[in-house]
Amino acid sequence: MAWTTTTDIESLSSESIVANGSVGISSLSSSQISRISVDNIGFLTSGAVAALSSAQLRGLSVPQGSSLGTAQIQALSSAAVRGLDAALFSSSVSGFSTHQLQALTSVNIAGLASAQLNGLSSRIEALATEDFAGLSSQQIASLSSEAFAAVTTRQLFALTSANIKGLTDTQLDSLDSTEIASLDPADLAGLGSAQLRSLETGQLQAFNDAQVASLASAALRSLTVSQYAALISGVAVASVSVTGLTSAQGGAGH
């Protein structure tokens, strides 16, 4: 049995939906997709879900989307998800549970446009750390204040030396001392001079020995004397790379 443009969606039983599988599902209109009952959505096979296009996904209502299971969400193609506009993407995930959001694959997350990411708003905290770490520096930079405020310390720790470069001055300025301390020392080497220079005294004082030791010399040299003094105020002398520091910065040391 196969899906066709004349399939009477409303009359299908759960057994029929399972039996139909994915054969011909691409021929269904978004209107037909929208008429699959909430109870029956969960019986779509992973193959059928994987075959859905963006246009067909647009036919899903929020209740339908909320009834998708983890395996179905993981089966969504990145092309289909990427093809949804921001409003539709936000609508389709608005009913997702935390577990469902975490089921989105890294490939799908990495393919999202900035407007789609920001459509998640505060729910961005539900993204698995490995998915958040997969965001590009451009995607990180595009996060709205509301979305970035919801980022967890576990997600911040998951940032890489590549995507940490995307943090904007506004985003960095919003980090408190606990969040600063959560940044992985191994990745802080990617922090640029302008980024480090944008931090306030209290934030710089929150850096620990390992974090200071990982900072690039060029970034250290870009700090003002007062900023440099704040940065090294609570760390061991051995943590600080003194190569190329200005004489004034050297005088601010321990």
pLDDT for 205 equals 94
pTM of the model: 0.70
Q: Cβ(252)–Cβ(225) under 8 Å?
A: yes
Per-residue pLDDT 10s for the chain (254 aa) are: 677 767 778 777 888 888 878 888 888 888 888 888 888 888 888 898 888 888 888 788 878 877 888 788 888 887 777 766 666 666 666 666 777 777 777 777 877 778 878 888 888 998 989 989 989 999 999 999 999 999 999 999 999 999 999 999 999 999 999 999 999 999 999 999 999 999 999 999 999 999 999 998 899 999 999 999 999 887 875 566 555 566 556 666 65
Structural domain boundaries in the chain: 185-254
pLDDT for 204 equals 95
pLDDT for 87 equals 62
pLDDT for 119 equals 80
pLDDT for 95 equals 64
